[in-house]
Amino acid sequence: MAVDTDVLATAGRRRTFAVISHPDAGKSTLTEALALHAKVISEAGAVHGKAGRRGVVSDWMEMEQARGISITSAALQFGYRDCVVNLLDTPGHADFSEDTYRVLTAVDSAVMLLDAAKGLEPQTLKLFEVCRHRDIPVITFINKWDRPGRDALALCDELVERIGLQPMPLTWPVGEAGHFRGVVDLVTGEFVRYERTAGGATAAAEEHLDAERALAEVGPEWTRAVEEAELLAMSGGEFDRERYLKASATPVLFGAAVLNFGVRHLLDLLVSLAPPPSARPDAAGDERPVDAPFSGFVFKVQTGMDRAHRDQVAFARVCSGVFERGMVVTNATTGRPFATKYTQQMFGRERSTVDTAYPGDVIGLVNATALRVGDTLYAGKPAVRYPRLPTFTPTAFAVARPTDLGKAKQFRRGVEQLGAEGVVQVLTSDRRGDAAPVFAAVGPMQFEVAAHRMDAEFNSPIRLDHLPYRTVRRLLDPAQAPILNTGTRSEVLVRADGTLLALFLDEISLGMARRLNPDLALDDSLVDNADDQA
């Protein structure tokens, strides 16, 4: 395949974004609806649990399909108009915030999905703060307008009052929540009326009516929608692309993803408005141009996507230059070369070989057992390293033990793999030994995923004995570890990156340890700063 040498022009046609939301706001449904409107799938399996309907493309794990929630992030790449879209679906559940945070380091923009009945929810707020911290522009899609919900103006007011983000509506609902007639396209002034399809499995047909005909056919609902939209525009909500790109204002769209209503507007907006890849700062703070030699970083590692081969895939965001399959790159973490013979483009669990990739693209490096989350890959000289991805402060701990001692080899391999992927943090100590590693998690559902995968993928069922620790600090002086290992109220464990974590029963136990040992070298910034950002 011929390589496109005009990197800037090719990268300019990339749109790489994530969908963020609170659980059950319809995120995976929207992801599938976008793929449907781009005509890369012919039928959506958007509603979990309905007879005869398959699970969404992006939810490929057995637990995801059984529970109807996203547990792991997924990458989908497809073409739309003259652009290449890299869409990253993220877990909505708070227990998987660490996975979502990593995904947000790999995108150029985000879609914030709100439930029309609930508005801004806790997990959405946390994820938006990550976007704010990283200056990621956000488009807001208010979903589930086909169901009873809140007033449209009240939802927009909430964006201003709770997160200081000025709403700039580009569509406005005709009909209150639960009685969705269509939307006013505020760019053209037309009424866009949707036609339902069976179960929302195919793209909804649209009928475009001018304002005069809309008034005649819809009457007061059309008039109210136009007046509300004009009121918001006069109070600072007039569209301004620069405010969007500076992440101080958000375009707002209304729809119902399960029926595929309003989804085309969102896809068109992403292609026309969302920013393409741009220069990215390296670990030293220097901007690396898009057309510099190839570089990228690994933001996710996943096994079990291909049951036939049990291979490991490292998801990497291309940051600069042209990636060519087969090229030998350098892993900045180890300084060692890495051959890219097996490289694939992802569409959920489905994959196809990719020969070239450009800034903004997400590639899957297969059999990448030498790669870890946060690794930087680059070609040529000088070397480049992107900022490492922070590790969240764990809040729950459990000792993992194999239920079948005859499967010790499978147990060790599974534990090592789950730690490498970041499914859980794996902590060890000389006191406990390798046969009893401690799983550390941000939330308890991570333990369920770890136990399920140990059984299903590694054929090593485990028992988890939960530990009572609730307070964590980083121990800066290894020589002080014996001080905290003598009683039952504290313990020191080692994370895979070498960090010493001091675990305490509670804040009282921490305070007691400090009073007894005034020179105790504990870092009160906890483990990393990610817990302040997500």
> By three-state DSSP, how is residue 349 classified?
coil
Query: Given a cut of 60, is residue 269 above it in pLDDT?
Result: yes
**Residues facing residue 455 across a β-bridge:** none
- Report the pLDDT averaged over residues 500-522: 95
Helices (H) and strands (E) in the chain, counts: 14, 31
Collapsing DSSP to helix, strand or coil, 411 comes out as helix
The radius of gyration of the chain from alpha carbons, rounded to an integer in Å, stands at: 25
Strands of the sheet containing 171-174, edge to edge, are 171-174, 182-185, 191-195, 205-209
Please, what is the end-to-end C-alpha distance for the chain in angstroms?
A: 41
d(CA 56, CA 31): 8
Q: For residue 138, give the nearest of 173, 107, 97, 101 by alpha carbon.
A: 107
CATH topology of domain 396-532: Alpha-Beta Plaits (3.30.70)
Given this model, what pLDDT does residue 123 score?
80
Calpha distance 32→26 (Å, rounded)? 10
Q: Which residue has the higher pLDDT, 110 or 74?
A: 110
For residue 77, pLDDT beyond 60: yes
Q: Which residues contact 226 (CB under 8 A, 6 or more apart)?
A: 172, 184, 211
Q: Once rounded to an integer, what is the mean pLDDT over residues 225-235?
A: 93
Q: Where are the domains of the chain?
A: 7-273, 280-378, 396-532
> pLDDT-derived band of residue 350, with 50, 70 and 90 as boundaries?
low
Residue 67: band (very low, low, confident or very high) from pLDDT cuts 50, 70, 90 = very low
pLDDT confidence of 307, banded at 50, 70, 90?
Answer: low
pLDDT of residue 58: 42
DSSP string, 180-207: --EEEETTT--EEEEE--GGG-SPPEEE
Mean pLDDT computed over 452-469: 92
3-state class (DSSP) for residue 249: strand
Summary mean pLDDT of the chain: 86
472: left (phi over 0), alpha (psi -120 to 50) or beta: beta
* pTM of the predicted structure, to 2 decimals: 0.80
Pick 87 or 74 by higher pLDDT: 87
C-alpha 213: how far from its chain's center?
A: 42
Q: Read off the pLDDT of residues 143-193 as tens digits, 9 standing for 90 and up.
A: 999 999 999 999 999 999 999 999 999 999 999 999 999 999 999 999 999
Contact 178, 151 (CB under 8 A): no
Q: How many CA atoms lie within 13 A of 151 on its CB side?
A: 7
How far is residue 174 CA from its own chain's centroid? 32
| Predicted local distance difference test score (pLDDT) of residue 297 | 96
What residue spans of 14-118 are helical by DSSP H? Answer: 27-37, 62-67, 97-104
Percent of the chain exceeding pLDDT 70 equals 87
Work out the pLDDT band at 349, boundaries 50, 70, 90: low
Contacts 24+ apart (CB under 8 A), 402-408: 402/435, 402/460, 402/461, 402/462, 402/463, 403/461, 403/462, 403/463, 404/460, 404/461, 407/459, 407/460, 408/435
Q: Say how far apart CA 107 and CA 134 lie, in whole Å.
A: 10
- If pLDDT is split at 50, 70 and 90, which confidence band does 520 have? very high
pLDDT on residue 134: 86
Report, as an integer, the average pLDDT of 459-473.
94
Which residues contribute to the annotated binding site for GTP?
89-93
Residue 65, pLDDT score: 45
- Residue 299 φ then ψ, to 5°: -110, -5
More confident residue, 350 or 218: 218
Question: Buried (b) or exposed (e) across 165-195, using 16+ Cβ within 10 A?
Answer: bbbbbbbbbbbbbeebbbbbbbeeebbbbbe
Q: What angle do CA 263, 266, 271 make, to 5 degrees?
A: 130
Residue 434's pLDDT band (cuts 50, 70, 90): confident
Note the pLDDT of residue 52: 37
Q: Which CATH class is domain 7-273?
A: alpha beta
Per-residue confidence (pLDDT) for residue 310, from 0 to 100: 59
Does the domain spanning 280-378 belong to CATH 1.10.645.10?
no
Residue 64 tokens read as 């995801």
Average pLDDT over residues 212-233: 94
For residue 339, the Cα-to-chain-centroid distance in whole angstroms is: 27
Question: What is the pLDDT at residue 2?
Answer: 42
| Residue 205 structure tokens | 């047909």
Provide the percentage of residues in the chain whose pLDDT is more than 90: 58
- Per residue in 317-348, pLDDT (tens digit) is 999 999 999 999 999 999 999 999 888 776 65
Asked whether residue 531 carries a pLDDT value surpassing 60, the answer given is no
The mean per-residue pLDDT over the stretch 113-132 comes to 90
Tens of pLDDT, residues 40-51: 765 555 333 333
Q: Is the separation of the CB atoms in 70 and 58 below 8 Å?
A: yes
Q: What is the pLDDT of residue 43?
A: 57
Q: What is the pLDDT of residue 47?
A: 33
Three-class SS state of 353: strand
Residues making up the binding site: 89-93
Give the per-residue pLDDT at 91. Answer: 66
| Distance separating alpha carbons of residues 343 and 338, to the nearest angstrom | 12
The pLDDT score that the predictor gives to residue 385 is 96
pLDDT band at 271 (very low <50, low <70, confident <90, very high): very high
* Weakest-pLDDT range from 57-71, 79-93, 152-166, 419-433: 57-71
If you search the block for the tokens 């996710």, which residue do you land on? 300
Confidence of residue 39 (pLDDT cuts 50, 70, 90): confident
| Confidence band, pLDDT 50/70/90 cuts, at residue 56 | very low
170-174, 407-411, 446-450: which has the minimum mean pLDDT? 446-450
Is pLDDT of 477 > 90? yes
